[in-house]
Amino acid sequence: MKDRLKKIEEKKIYYEKHKNIIPKLALEKYELDFAIRYTHESTKIEGNTLSLIENKLIIEDRMSIGGKSLREVYEVENHNKAFQYVKDNIKKGIGLDSNVIKDIHEILMDNIITGGIYRYVDVSITGASHKPPSRTEMHDRLNIFYYDLKNKVLNPIEKASWVHAEFVAIHPFEDGNGRTSRMLMNYILMENGYLPVNIKSEDKILYYEALDEYGKNNNLDLFLELVINLEEEQLDTYINLIEQILENNLTDNMEP
């Protein structure tokens, strides 16, 4: 695992060194495409039925969608707003803390339920073999989480994976914990110079099994491997674009 992390760090360094050669318009298109796909997959994991095209119409074209529930439309709109909030915070150098996490949840839950408030009832995670802490134990677990968030020294990909797995295991909100946890994971990745990742709904079984392994046995390996693969996939996409640009520039310079 350490070798994989080192390899990805090298790819990240290469990406950071050359990313400025990517034309602004191309970069904006890549980022918009990711935002649409990320919103589509993250909400679909939770049961949203809007298609990728319908996500595009809402996010990029600002169009309304007929025949769908308002909740599903709000889920898409809110997810995109929350992701923009995360990106804006990172540009401002604002670190992840309890207030930011509550803000992210509040944005995700706008017009759905009252967001940013910890649960006062016991909950269960559908399909999971472990149970989140009781409402009384939850606050102690959260205090430890926030302490570790500030002080835990890990490789950024490891920390992003841990943040997601631990937060969703605590399940501090009545609803929206999955979407929030995926936002927190990308927050840690992006503030450390890595690219945000998108867990696809088609990989939901693998994703849930990896989180369940952490919840049952405190074993992060399966989930970390999933995140490593996704991060490498993202970096390779941008590195391929960079290499195409470099190759084209070299060819142009060789022309008589």
pLDDT at 250: 59
CA distance 136 to 171: 13
Distance CA 235, CA 92 (A): 23
Q: Which helix (H) or strand (E) holds 226?
A: helix 221-254
Environment class of residue 15 by beta-carbon count within 10 Å: exposed (0-12), middle (13-18) or buried (19+)? buried
Q: At what angle do helices 70-92 and 24-45 cross, to 10 degrees?
A: 130
What per-residue confidence (pLDDT) applies to 87?
A: 98
Q: Where are the domains of the chain?
A: 2-242
Nearest 5°: CA angle at 151, between 145 and 156?
A: 90
Closest CA to 172 of 200, 148, 198, 137: 137
pLDDT tens over the chain, length 256 residues? 889 999 999 999 999 999 999 999 999 999 999 999 999 999 999 999 999 999 999 999 999 888 899 999 999 999 999 999 999 999 999 999 999 999 999 999 999 999 999 999 998 887 778 899 999 999 999 999 999 999 999 999 999 999 999 999 999 999 999 999 999 999 999 999 999 999 999 999 999 999 999 999 999 999 999 999 999 999 999 999 999 999 987 555 544 4
> CB neighbours of 82 closer than 8 A, spacing ≥ 6?
104, 107, 108, 179, 183
94: DSSP letter: P
Residue that has been written with the tokens 């290499």 in this structure = 243
Q: Which CATH architecture has domain 2-242?
A: Orthogonal Bundle (1.10)
How confident is the model at residue 118, as a pLDDT?
Answer: 97
Among residues 89, 115, 112, 87, which one has the least CA distance to residue 100? 89
List C-alpha distances in Å: 234 to 60, 133, 156, 229, 248: 21, 34, 15, 9, 22
> Which helix H or strand E contains 80, and what residues bound it?
helix 70-92
Look up residue 52 and give its DSSP letter.
H
* pLDDT score recorded for residue 1: 82
Among 155, 123, 142, 172, residue whose Cα is nearest residue 220:
155
Cα distance between residue 210 and residue 223, in whole Å: 5
pLDDT at 49: 97
